[in-house]
Structure 1
Amino acid sequence: MIEVWWSALTFTLGYNTSLVTIGAMLLGAGAGMIGTFVLLRKRSLVSDAISHATLPGLALAFIAAGLVQGDGRWLPGLLMGAAASAALGLWLVQLISARTRLGEDAAIGAVLSTFFSFGVVLITFIQSMNVTGQSGLTDYLVGSTAGMLASEAKLIAVCALGLLAAIFVLRRDFLMVCFDAPFAGTQGVSAWRVDLLMLTLLMAVVVIGLKVTGLILIVALTIIPPVTARFWTNRPLRMVVLAALLGALSAYLGVTLSSINEGLPTGSLIVLAAFGLFMVSFLLSPQRGAFATLLAHQRFRRRVHLRQGLLAVARDEPIFDGLTLRLLQRRGYIRRDGVATPAGHSAARDAEHEERLWALYRRRYPDDALHQEHSGLEPIARVLPPDAITALEALLQPRAGEPT
């Protein structure tokens, strides 16, 4: 089993397997890229509606091909039927949300459930038809690469490559509309036209991915990689690139794992691989990961306790909190009996002086102070320039007992 998987990973298992893997990787990259723009545009649920809307068109195309040639499994016809049905579903979502008082989420729910129900009825009818290939129709629900022909794999690879090229060309217009549609209009970029192109490319991803991940799971490939990429960067173009790489990696792992046994579902393994990468990012990302967030919270908590402890020492107030006492003892600011050391008195005076400077700064410049994160804890010399600190020192009134 391990040897078979290794052969698939190194593209030595066979021509067809390698071709399918490359096509799925291109599809995953395209899904990650267009999914990033859809996510930034806050329209991720549209992909769910499109994916479920493909089922009636897929079934009708199968029926038509079966009546003509006795076998409904003609991939170009199935893809065209799915595309037409998805386009109709997308148009209905846009029409309902634009011409009625219903929101886009309600329109998506109505179209998704109606089209999918109609598709299930058609599939039930197909099972009673005197044509071949009915069992292969379920492959478009959950994805399958085991029985994919070389011609089908080539078609998917070519379409995915064209999709990648189109997204790459349109990336700047997409980003402009995602972040500031009115400004894009002043630059001659039509937000309506860009939205239409974005959703058309999303529809293309869904249709192309029917054979690889299935219409039920293709939506995950357009959402999980962009969300995963968001853990690693704040820059949109980097997010697009990372989502493409993560989508390709998810497809690579899922397809190669499914090649171990014919019964393994390709789409499910691709989604599970994407979810595995998501969990790794969720836990280990240095910026937004769970562990990094927990460590940052603990550091912030210690800084608060240390500052409050030093202020209590400066004001000769009793300290009862155990964490505050431990932090002060570790720094050598107090002894075991709670008495402040000379270093503790010095640090306490500095802390109180900084506290007074920050309080004066917040009173004098409240708008600027709002933009300073945790300004009461950060040393003021790291935040404000020297001339600003000198000006605050000149305005600071000496406390009783301090030299003027």
Structure 2
Amino acid sequence: MTFLDPNTLWVLLACMLLGISSGVIGCFAFLRNRSLIGDALAHAALPGVCIMFLLTQIKSIGLFLIGAAIIGLLASYCITAISRHTRIKEDASIAIILSVFFGAGIMLLTYIQHSNSGNQSGLDKFLFGQAASLVLSDVYTMIAISAVLLLTTTLLFKEFTLLSFDSNFGRGLGFPMKGLDGILMLMILLCVVTGLQAVGVVLMSAMLITPAVTARYWTDKISTMVILAGVFGALSGVLGTYFSTQVNNLPTGPMIVLAATTFFLFSVIFSPKRGVVIRLVTHMKVRKKVLQEDVLQVLYESMEYELKEGYSIDELAKRSGKSITKVQRAIEMLKSHLFVHVDQTGIQFTKTGLQKAHEIVLNERVWDVYYMNELDYQGFNIDKGQENIITQLNHTERQTMFKRLEDYEMMPNLLAFQANVLSDKKRSEVSL
């Protein structure tokens, strides 16, 4: 089968449409913490296909999809009913429905395959899909369903966003959240049923969730996430179809899922905000910053306590509890930033370094005072997740904290000491 073969082009178009619609709808399933709902509906569709065949004895894709949709609706109702009317949580109810319906589907499938009329039914293809069997009429069906799904998503985008992030707030505004949730479940079901023939019962959940999770690594904005998920889904469909045509008997459905997984792994490693590489680089930068600040703080507090100008690396290592190697590395970095310099008396601050160390120590001690008297500062608007507390204080609050520092004799005072030392040096140079 060549890539330019008409049948291949139909399969390519169908899988691309499936990828787009699955990625877009999967975003809202993922944000609603219903990543397994597509898996449950896909597995629940199998007994629907088998029951429809037993009733009609006809191998019709249209009839199979109708049967899958009916049983899928029953499964979604059961999931909702169990989670609402019992103490069983939604994830547990999804697992129950998935296993029960899929077990029933396997039992019916086995019965059909051992019956006289089921030997050539080929219903087992619905387990893993058979995209090569798609014909032009199937493509038309996928185009129509994809258009409906994408149009509905566009029209109800704000409502679905509200449903995904704060359904209680939406209910307070008067939106029918239960109705919107039902529409979203129906759209997931339509997407699942549409993809059964291409990727099968087992792999359909991957087509719903993998593009959505992949897109989440690249953005924090839901509109961008939905667009990216559709792009990743489409590319997965195209690449999966292309590579399956290059080797005989290579299944298209699993190749599509592998292509989607490849995009996901690439995003996990290289995405600019949450990727492993950027997180590793950020972690290394933070470690360097913390090491430098710790050494600056130790040098400052040592000089503050003893009113001594310079210290050796061994002394700083002993006082900080860090290895000599780490302190040496920190000193080299601080020298490159012009925060310290080394002369015959040892390691000393530059004017810039002294100011920087003073800010670090002052910020640290203000945090200490805040935590020691937290009940007294409940009226302060303090974000504990931020590193700097002083910049969060207004003038009055800052003076209050500084007064408490002075009462505790914790106010950093090395700036005045260093100024006196520098003045003494200048006077001695003039006298010479």
For this structure pair, what is the TM-score category when the shorter chain's length is used for normalisation?
Answer: 0.7 to 0.9
Overall identity of the aligned pairs, in %: 30
Call closer, same or farther: CA 1:350–1:140 in 2, change over 3 Å. same
Call closer, same or farther: CA 1:308–1:142 in 2, change over 3 Å. same
Question: In 2, are the aligned partners of 1:57 and 1:86 still within 8 Å (CA)?
Answer: yes
1:292 matched to 2:278? The reply is: yes
Q: Structure 2: where are the runs of 5+ without partners?
A: 303-310, 318-322, 371-376, 420-432
Q: After TM superposition, give the deviation of residue 304 of structure 1 in Å.
A: 0.6
Among residues 23, 27, 38, which one is paired with 1:32 in the alignment?
23
The 5 Å alignment of 1:13-162 reads 13-66=4-57, 72-131=58-117, 134=120, 136-162=122-148
Call closer, same or farther: CA 1:360–1:77 in 2, change over 3 Å. same
Give the aligned CA root-mean-square deviation in angstroms.
2.9
Q: After TM superposition, give the deviation of residue 73 of structure 1 in Å.
A: 2.4
Please list the CA deviations of residues 327-349 of structure 1 after superposition, one character each: whole Å capped at 9, or x if unmatched.
21233235499921453x65144
Letter in 2 for 1:153: V
CA distance in 2, matches of 1:114, 1:26: 30
TM-score of the two chains, using structure 1 as the length reference = 0.86
Q: Specify the alignment match of 1:352 in structure 2.
A: 358
TM-score of the two chains, using structure 2 as the length reference = 0.80
Query: Is the deviation greater in 350-359 or in 120-129?
Result: 350-359
Q: Specify the alignment match of 2:331 in structure 1.
A: 328
CA distance in 1, matches of 2:413, 2:67: 85
Aligned length: 384
1:225 matched to 2:211? The reply is: yes
Q: After TM superposition, give the deviation of residue 387 of structure 1 in Å.
A: 6.8
Query: Is the deviation greater in 313-322 or in 239-248?
Result: 313-322
Q: After TM superposition, give the deviation of residue 148 of structure 1 in Å.
A: 2.0
Q: Structure 1: where are the runs of 5+ without partners?
A: 67-71
Call closer, same or farther: CA 1:172–1:308 in 2, change over 3 Å. same
CA distance in 2, matches of 1:324, 1:82: 67
CA distance in 1, matches of 2:19, 2:145: 12
Please list the CA deviations of residues 377-404 of structure 1 after superposition, one character each: whole Å capped at 9, or x if unmatched.
xxx7xx5699799968986756557389
CA distance in 2, matches of 1:375, 1:394: 15
Among residues 197, 200, 222, which one is paired with 1:211 in the alignment?
197
Partner-residue secondary structure (3-state), 1:319: helix
Q: Specify the alignment match of 1:69 in structure 2.
A: none
Partner-residue secondary structure (3-state), 1:286: coil
CA distance in 2, matches of 1:101, 1:31: 31
Letter in 1 for 2:154: F
Question: In 2, are the aligned partners of 1:311 and 1:348 still within 8 Å (CA)?
Answer: no
CA distance in 1, matches of 2:344, 2:23: 60
Call closer, same or farther: CA 1:137–1:349 in 2, change over 3 Å. same
Q: After TM superposition, give the deviation of residue 250 of structure 1 in Å.
A: 1.1
Question: In 2, are the aligned partners of 1:49 and 1:108 still within 8 Å (CA)?
Answer: yes
Q: After TM superposition, give the deviation of residue 160 of structure 1 in Å.
A: 2.0
Please list the CA deviations of residues 91-134 of structure 1 after superposition, one character each: whole Å capped at 9, or x if unmatched.
11112222222222222222111111111111112113333773
Question: In 2, are the aligned partners of 1:26 and 1:161 still within 8 Å (CA)?
Answer: no
